[in-house]
Amino acid sequence: MQVGDKGQDAGGGGGGGPRGAPLGRALVLDTAAGPPPGGAIVTAVTAPEPVSDSAVPVGIVVLVSGSGTNLQALIDAAADPSYGVRILAVGADRSGITGIHRAAATGIPTFVCRVQDYPDRDSWDAALAGLIGVHEPALVVSAGFMKLLGPKVLGAFTVLNTHPALLPAFPGAHAVRDALAYGAKVTGCTVHVVDAGVDTGPVIAQTAVEVRDDDTEESLHERIKAVERAMLVDVVGRAAREGITVTDRKATIP
Ligand code: GRF
């Protein structure tokens, strides 16, 4: 989920942008058509350059808010040069979290951008866009980042998010709890392109997870996260190496 204040917040911001050439291949977003009624604002995304033998890894920035096990999976994958991804930096909306410690322990630059340190949401969004932009990533990955990203960040970067439910079912901050409360027999996880809505962007990949009769929110979330980490690693690697195309709501990696 890419939820703001446990409900998803927005921001504004400015300053970043896949400024300059990305380390690998850029994922180019065309948002000229504006937002359709469903909320998605992405109308076309293309990977303009051919695959380049991963000679140069694609640079990404990962955003986290908590334990960072998805981040750790990306860190572990990126240790293999053939994965084709370099984690340029890890950002968080709060300090003292395990996710930041995981990055620091690996020598990855980190930054913290807290909403409460800014006069308003737009200022926070602008600051976050600037902090991300310093690293000139080709792609931003929201891996358990619990704030709704604002227009400055989303206007400057292609952002992927992982969410612990099969969207469009159970968007928001309590997806696992909501699936249990609903009595769903199957839930799962989704990686999607982030748009201005709450977990509404075009879906890239989904994996189903069975709900057991004796599941608690914790037990179900742990089973979801086990498959979520593998799916996120797979999607980010393929997106970096091959690019993403999004036409209307159809997201594909060639
Ligand atoms: C994941 O299930 C993610 O989808 C959700 O929060 C969890 C983060 O887990 N938004 P972790 O911090 O990567 O361990």
* Residue 229 phi, psi (nearest 5): -60, -45
Ligand 1 mean position to 218 CA, how many Å?
Answer: 12
Ligand 1 mean position, distance from CA 13 (Å): 25
C-alpha distances in Å from residue 185, one per residue of 25, 189, 220: 40, 14, 11
The pLDDT value recorded for residue 43 is 36
Please spell the DSSP secondary structure of 77-131, one letter per residue. Answer: HHTSGGG-EEEEEEEESSSS-HHHHHHHHTT--EEE--GGGSSSHHHHHHHHHHH
| Chain position carrying tokens 């990404």 | 60
Query: Which element (helix H / strand E) includes 219?
Result: helix 217-242
* pLDDT score at 25: 37
Q: pLDDT tens-digit profile of 75-101?
A: 999 999 999 999 999 999 999 999 999
- Residue 162 alpha carbon, nearest atom of ligand 1: 4
Ligand 1, atom 1: nearest CA belongs to which residue? 144
Give per-residue pLDDT as tens, 218-246.
999 999 999 999 999 999 999 999 999 99
| Rounded distance from Cα 212 to ligand 1 centre (Å) | 20
Tell whether ligand 1 has an atom less than 6 A from the beta carbon of residue 163: yes
Binding site membership of 1 for ligand 1 (Cβ less than 6 Å):
yes
Distance of CA 234 from the midpoint of ligand 1 (Å): 16
Residue 55's pLDDT is: 72
Cβ–ligand 1 distance for 249 under 6 Å, the answer: no
Ligand 1 contact, 69 CB (< 6 A):
yes
Cβ of 25 less than 6 Å from ligand 1? no
- Name the pTM for this structure: 0.84
Q: In this predicted structure, what is the pLDDT of residue 13?
A: 31
Length of the chain: 254
CA of 11 to the centre of ligand 1 (A): 21
**What domains, with CATH codes, occur in the chain?**
28-252 (3.40.50.170)
Which amino acids are annotated catalytic? 163
From first to last of its 254 residues, the chain has per-residue pLDDT tens of 544 443 444 333 333 333 222 323 334 444 333 333 332 223 344 443 444 455 799 999 999 999 999 999 999 999 999 999 999 999 999 999 999 999 999 999 999 999 999 999 999 999 999 999 999 999 999 999 999 999 999 999 999 999 999 999 999 999 999 999 999 999 999 999 999 999 999 999 999 999 999 999 999 999 999 999 999 999 999 999 999 999 989 999 98
- Decide: 17 in ligand 1 pocket, CB within 6 A: no
> Cβ(122)–Cβ(9) under 8 Å?
no
Angstrom distance (rounded) from CA 37 to CA 178:
25
